[in-house]
Amino acid sequence: MPQKKKTSSNISKIVPQKSREEVLAQRRLESRAEDSKLIKAAIKGNQKSYRALLKKYHDQVYNLLYRMVHEKDEVEDLTQEAFIKAFQSLQNFNEEFAFSTWLYKIATNNCIDYIRKKKLQTFSIDKPIESKDGDYTFEIPDSTFEPDKSMIAAQRAKALEEAVNSLPEKYRQVILMRHSEDKDYQEIADELNLPLGTVKAHIFRAREILYKRLKKQIHYY
């Protein structure tokens, strides 16, 4: 007597299907394992690992910050700053936590500083933000009085000017157009006849150099 073929429906009765929660949990574990591998390689100086982390989380960080600041170019700036800060502090990352949660906190804290300086309208901080690693919430800490503010600002401005002037021409040009001339990314691309992606990459690299040079001198961001 010929044996019946096992159909997919019959197999599904024999092998229990994973629940949605189990699938998501598995994906989170795989994502964290991938992040751990990339972080360790990045700390050793592997530039491809930095780029992989940036590519993996750029849109998530951008969308998170866009909910706080509804200006696309400003959000792109803040996104770049968040990654620069994170990359400079990778050695301090604790793998007991998800990299995304750590990155989001850096991004939101940096954005909060920006909001305070610009006195922008923002959404309620009590509303959780959904991410693939679960809901994420944050609080705005109390501001404190900073003595000798004008003197500190003058010192920062001088140090920043010297650092900008020391940049390679292609990086100095775009960073001045973005911050001194207040041009948006597309305007810079059109004026320099460069692809938009190249402009963003140049500005990111310029900020990265500035952060490294100024980190020990002043609190740049």
Same domain, 86 and 129: yes
Q: C-alpha angle 127/109/175, rounded to 5°? A: 125
Domain span including residue 65: 21-136
Per-residue pLDDT tens over the stretch 93-105: 998 889 999 999 9
What are 157-201's pLDDT values in tens digits? Answer: 777 788 888 889 999 999 999 888 889 999 999 999 999 999 999
CB 107 within 8 Å of CB 79 = yes
**pTM attached to this predicted model:** 0.66
Q: For residues 44 and 198, what is the distance between their CA atoms, to the nearest angstrom?
A: 26
Domain boundary among 86, 104, 136: 136
Whether residue 104 is found in the same domain as residue 173: no
CATH number of the domain within which 106 lies: 1.10.1740.10
Please say whether the beta carbons of 82 and 61 come within 8 A: yes
